[in-house]
Structure 1
Amino acid sequence: AQECRLGRSSSLYIYSDQGSHEPLARVDRAAPGEADEVLYYHTDVNGAPEEMTDGGGNIVWEAGYQVWGNLTHEKETRPVQQNLRFQGQYLDRETGLHYNLYRFYDPDIGKFISGDPISLKGGINLYAYAPNPLSWIDPLGLKCGSSYEQARNKALKWLEERGFKAERVNIGKFGSTRGKPVGMTTADGKTGFRIEYDERSGAHINVFSGKDKGEHFLFDASESIVTKLQKLFDLPSKPQRPIS
């Protein structure tokens, strides 16, 4: 996404993955003859920016949030005007509202200021942001869903409690993923995870440890995004878990 400022340079936003709304970096386009600058985002578990650093690792902006997205504090070491908030939101500094593509969100009350454009398809409360802003996101202002980052963190917490270490590539056994990387396991192959997509559950992470099967950690993503996530585990330096 690109932001153009009146009478100033433009900025290009880079996100963590295609289809993701979690910011990774911002490229500030300078005037002709000047060098562009890349600023890096550091986000919380829900993808909201907490810090922004320059190429030297120096903090140029940092903030803290209340539960529903209002800031407890905001500090700049130099003017950078960082306006991204919850995933998909952009702060309107004149009104204090967060632009959420399809409607505006008010962090003071934790609700949208207009009803859901998709009506009851987004839930019975037409003004609600999400049941829990610590584990849900609504980047478009239409319906809430869990992000990949949230699902991954929950899955890793479950696995780490069972001594998980990513030592072998987990290979798919069925369908289009057979013989392809889908996740990671321990050296003995007994504890690990798979990132998968199916019509019943959609995008999800399966975890296992021996006979102990964890829940499906669901997240909001298309099948093509899941395929790209699976390719992250195509690691030639790691041994593969054989297909049984």
Structure 2
Amino acid sequence: MLGADRVERCAELARGAPLTRRSAELASLAGLFVGTRELGEQWWRQARDGKRPAPDEVLRAATAVDPWADLTVLEMLAAWIADDSADETWGRPSAVTDLNSWQAEDRIALPADAIPGQRIVVAFDAGGRLDAVVIRRPDEDLGSNLDFNSLRYSRPAEAQWSWGVAAGLGPHHLREDPDPYTQPVDPAAADALRVWALRHGATAEQTGREWRVKGDVVAAIERVDWMWRSGEWFAWWRGVAALVDGDPLQLAARLEEIAAAS
């Protein structure tokens, strides 16, 4: 339903992303597959309110548009279709909030016709919705409480998240010649980062043998599961990401940071 031309264009954009971001791009593609099944192929051809071009035009131009201009094109399209799917399922939200705070009381402005007991759909993320329940306060004023038990995501948003978790960082090969995962890495930097991981709790099975090519490093990052370790591993992550993505200045800075902390 997505169509061969769109799939190839999406794959082209995924190939152009840094290898440490490729899994996120492919997760976005998973969301687009599910969203297209939900909303139909016509979703790609429809412009929005004279302000946004049709998604097909965005995909061809490879330029993200507001309100997601800080995302990659595939991430932006995935957010867009996740939101449209949520609107189709639960109606357009009456308000927007964020969940960085778990305060439930009076997080939104109530519509003029609000009545006690009414449930108001609130957006908090791309494809994410929950309800605010209108209540009457002891002073007789109307207020609202966010019902966190009503939190839900549209199917495209769930597909994007699920694919990213299940597939992991990679390697994810996309019929490339030469294969970027076979490109060699700086042996001295690779050895320093691998040894650091071993000294800080990773097993030899997790790190694997000598890191010679980018695919070795990506696979090791996935096995080490660094996000569930102590805070010092964030410097290691930035270092191995720079090693894989070919950022020598960032790599040098992170190696220096790691050495200073050792």
The two structures share one fold, judged by TM-score above 0.5: no
Indicate the structure (1 or 2) with the bigger Cα radius of gyration: 2
Structure with a larger share of its residues in strand: 1
Q: What is the TM-score normalised by the length of structure 1?
A: 0.26
Higher helix proportion: 2
